Structure 1
Amino acid sequence: MRVLIVTNMWPSPERPALGSFVRDQLEALRELDDPDLELECYAFPPGGYAAAARGMLSDYRGRRFDVVHAHFGLTAWPSLAVSAEVHGLTLHGTDIHHRRSRLITRAAFPFIDLLAAASPELAKQVPGYPRREVEILPCGVATDRFVPLDRERCRAELSLDARERYLLFPADPDRPGKRFDRAGAVAGNCNAKLLTLGNVDPGEVPKWINAADAVIVPSDNEGFGLAVLEAMACQIPVVATPTGIHEAAIGGIAGSYCLPFDVQRWSEKLELIFEQPEMRTQSRERANSFSAERMAIRLLDTWRMHLNTPLDSAAADNEEKSTQAPWD
């Protein structure tokens, strides 16, 4: 199976966090060590759609892939420059929530054979759903990288006060939909210092998560909810709004909470966490159910289904690892 991944989200020196989840999925696919899978990737900067189309026309002229799979709605258009039996597209949120992007993305749907969304909630917002079939294909969390670490050591390495209250806002404060204003209000109400990730190198993010007493995600909308899963893989308490996969991920995990944003109610939940220094949640097993490896297997199985390709022995081995998704 010859597959080309096309994405406008990919880490760069200027924006090291951009699209790290797409890179993690690509690595997870390669680590499946499936002899039938030949995987390539074409990454380009956000906004460079015309140049990307020209580049792919030149680079892949005369070649035909079994699958060309694009990440992010607008990326579908340049990906169509490459010949394939199946053209796939995974929607991630902004491509549906932003009015102009939604219109351009929707116009590409007639040319897409495999349409997917990063979460069931996002799938329901896709124009034409449920008449239009939408697969659920998130990238998943890199549970090999996001692991519990010693909080005291993490704080020392990040030059943070060992005795301070810290809350982590796991996003760039300049992204309006992530609602940094809400995070600041809650941190102030709890007399806690607020940490942010912004342009932190992805390799350092596990330290910042483990250094925090809790991770807070007060977003208006999430296409998926990766930050919550990363915290859960590190067994750090989470308070998050019910969007994306937050409810499915957090539900039933003691010490973590999924509820509509309200400064007072969120502060009360966080005080419960602060009252238990060094608190760790029993959430890693749940995070593993959303792992990059499991989601890569799900994606590979979906490609095979659309190609009507019989499972070979390696694929059968992977199928044994694949369990029912948490949202199924």
Structure 2
Amino acid sequence: MSASRAVDAPIPMPMRRAQSPIRLLTFSSLYPSPGRPNHGVFVENRLRHLVAGGEAESTVLAPVPWFPLRGGRGPAEVLRHGLRVHHPRFLAPPGLGMLTAPATLYAAARAALARLRKGGFDFDLIDAHYLYPDGVAALRLGQELGKPVVITARGSDVSQLPNYRLPRRAIRRAIEGADALIAVSAGLRDGLMALGAPAEKVTVLRNGVDLDLFHPPPSRQAARAALGLGEEPVLISVGHLIERKGHHHVVAALPMLPGHRLLILGEGPERAALLALARQLGVEERVRLVGAQPHAALPEWYGAADAMVLASSREGWANVLLESMACGTPVVASPAWGSREAVRSPAAGLVLEETTPEAVAAGVRRLLADSPDRAATRRYAEGFGWDDTTAGQMAVFRRVLAARAGA
């Protein structure tokens, strides 16, 4: 296999502790790949900060969906930020993925892992992300190899997928079989418990934000000028262009926000519908669909905006909230899971009671009428670094390994 190296350097590693690091197999199809560099970047970010502590090391198994008629074949192995990432392909027939993914994901991962183990690779614990299909497949791998499995729940795997009969059954089995569960918000923890998870099995570990990457621009005027922005209030909405991200609510709020400009960062199937809505409402001149942006380019956009609007109907923990606040830009957030946990001070912004265009417009007016000091917004975000999350993960992993050893 040939490996390609990412241009970004890994997070500087502190001195290793005397004891051997825990060897993780991080398993998730939610992970960046050459074909989808921003996909699941939140999983990668948490892992990078974890291994930077020196108490854990990881090999990443991140299968990518594939179907013959759609083609596309990226490298089977890459090096990103100093982490070895393996990308076996798993069959994903259009329209059937929800039903077939657990089996095809497992088969692809099992074959890839067999090759790695034949070369001498071994690990202590499976660190899986997303309950379905990833956690389901990870649990099968763990049971087959006699390895403990820790699954992190991240959002729709708890709030949406259990609404379907077969996924719900598989998710409940994964919850029961996992050695431990991590939820990225208290709302997700409650959702896991509603699905049958014992309270003592679930640990809440929020996502953090990279405070070195996300920071206010040296000059907002220069940042705005570089992006072609004038003096008008600028709103930014960030996320994949799909219905549940709620970009349409922000577009529909613009007629009630005269003079405001909206930047939408992301790409996806709703692009044409968003443009059509903007034309229908007569605000197309004030809406700019920027497209998907590299993760490292986001701070410039956040820092130039006056407010970031999150109108998602569902989120486990919206990383965009912390990213925006770390750049000094306050937020107007929908009442999705995790929003009230992330936005707990006027310095951060505000959380809406409902997600409608009218509520978005009222929230923006309220926030910008008395906008918090941007330095205070940044200071608030500084309370969301990764150290506590890293320590929490290590505590979960050690507890699981100790329990296995005792058994």
Do the two structures share a fold, i.e. TM-score over 0.5? Answer: yes
Partner in structure 2 of residue 28 of structure 1:
49
**Could you tell me which of 69, 81, 103 is aligned with 2:127?**
69
Partner in structure 2 of residue 318 of structure 1:
none
1:150-193 CA-to-partner distances (Å, cap 9, x unmatched) read 322222333x22323221111122x2211112111223321322
2:222 aligned partner, one-letter code: R
The reply on whether 1:81 has 2:141 as its aligned counterpart is: yes
CA–CA distance in structure 2, aligned partners of residues 54 and 17 of structure 1: 26
Q: Secondary structure at the match of 1:144?
A: coil
**Could you tell me which of 250, 261, 265 is aligned with 1:197?**
265
2:204 aligned partner, one-letter code: I
The reply on whether 1:16 has 2:29 as its aligned counterpart is: no
2:154 aligned partner, one-letter code: H
152 and 12 in structure 1: CA distance in 2 versus 1, 3 angstrom threshold: farther
The reply on whether 1:244 has 2:310 as its aligned counterpart is: no
Partner in structure 2 of residue 283 of structure 1:
377
76-85 or 182-191: which moved more?
76-85
- Superposition deviation, residue 272 in structure 1: 4.2
Aligned ranges 1:287-306 → 2 under 5 Å: 287-306=381-400
Q: Secondary structure at the match of 2:148?
A: strand
- Superposition deviation, residue 42 in structure 1: 1.4
46 and 282 in structure 1: CA distance in 2 versus 1, 3 angstrom threshold: farther
- Superposition deviation, residue 114 in structure 1: 1.1
**Could you tell me which of 144, 147, 152 is aligned with 2:212?**
144
**Could you tell me which of 234, 250, 258 is aligned with 1:183?**
250
2:347 aligned partner, one-letter code: A
- Superposition deviation, residue 8 in structure 1: 0.7
Aligned ranges 1:229-240 → 2 under 5 Å: 229-240=322-333
CA–CA distance in structure 2, aligned partners of residues 232 and 217 of structure 1: 12
Structure with more relative contact order (C-alpha pairs < 8 Å, separation 6 or more): 1
Aligned ranges 1:48-197 → 2 under 5 Å: 48=90, 49=105, 50-61=107-118, 64-73=122-131, 74-79=133-138, 80-81=140-141, 83=145, 85-96=147-158, 97-98=160-161, 99-100=163-164, 101-126=167-192, 127-130=195-198, 133-149=201-217, 150-158=219-227, 160-173=228-241, 175-191=242-258, 192-197=260-265
CA–CA distance in structure 1, aligned partners of residues 62 and 392 of structure 2: 22
CA contact (8 A) 1:213 1:273 kept: no
Aligned length: 305
- Superposition deviation, residue 215 in structure 1: 0.3
CA contact (8 A) 2:348 2:377 kept: no
CA–CA distance in structure 2, aligned partners of residues 187 and 281 of structure 1: 27
1:301 aligned partner, one-letter code: A
Q: Which has the larger radius of gyration?
A: 2
5+ unaligned residues in a row in structure 1: which ranges?
310-328
**Could you tell me which of 23, 30, 33 is aligned with 1:2?**
23
CA contact (8 A) 1:68 1:84 kept: no
Q: Secondary structure at the match of 1:220?
A: coil
CA contact (8 A) 2:175 2:196 kept: no
CA contact (8 A) 1:166 1:193 kept: yes
CA–CA distance in structure 1, aligned partners of residues 377 and 146 of structure 2: 40
2:296 aligned partner, one-letter code: G
1:71 aligned partner, one-letter code: H
CA–CA distance in structure 2, aligned partners of residues 259 and 86 of structure 1: 40
User: TM-score with structure 1 length normalisation?
Assistant: 0.83
The reply on whether 1:41 has 2:41 as its aligned counterpart is: no
37-46 or 57-66: which moved more?
57-66
Partner in structure 1 of residue 351 of structure 2:
258
Query: What percentage of aligned pairs have identical amino acids?
Result: 27
Q: Secondary structure at the match of 1:308?
A: helix
CA–CA distance in structure 2, aligned partners of residues 89 and 68 of structure 1: 8
284 and 18 in structure 1: CA distance in 2 versus 1, 3 angstrom threshold: same
289 and 85 in structure 1: CA distance in 2 versus 1, 3 angstrom threshold: farther
Which structure 1 residue ranges, 4+ long, deviate > 6 Å from structure 2?
A: none
- Superposition deviation, residue 70 in structure 1: 0.5
CA–CA distance in structure 1, aligned partners of residues 382 and 399 of structure 2: 24
1:38-90 CA-to-partner distances (Å, cap 9, x unmatched) read 32221222473132232123323575522111011111233342535421101
CA–CA distance in structure 1, aligned partners of residues 337 and 389 of structure 2: 16
CA–CA distance in structure 2, aligned partners of residues 130 and 190 of structure 1: 46
279-288 or 179-188: which moved more?
279-288
CA–CA distance in structure 2, aligned partners of residues 254 and 282 of structure 1: 6
Q: Secondary structure at the match of 1:4?
A: strand
